[in-house]
Amino acid sequence: MSNFGSGFTGSSSEQQETLVASIARNESANGPMPDALHGFFRTVKELTVVGYYTSETGGAKELRLMPLGDYRADVPYDEIGRAWS
């Protein structure tokens, strides 16, 4: 964060986005980032995306997944009628 003169949380959202984008491109003010740091960032990013899309918000609202209903193996014929016979 030496580029902006403050910590990550003290930076503006535009500065935070710039920093995260540069990390994703494997760039820093001092040249390419060490492999360990870039690998850590990729792992955290992957876990964040997986966590979001497996949450109710990510799955139901953004992906619009429709969860399967209950499986009822023993349904009385009178409830469903001839449509399923």
Residue 83 confidence (pLDDT) above 70: no
Q: Each residue of 12-64: pLDDT tens digit? A: 999 999 988 888 888 766 777 788 888 898 899 999 999 999 998 888 888 88
- Within 10 angstroms of residue 66's Cβ, the number of other Cβ atoms is 8
- Within 10 angstroms of residue 49's Cβ, the number of other Cβ atoms is 11
Q: Which residue do the tokens 């969860």 mark? A: 67
7, 19 in Cβ contact below 8 A? no
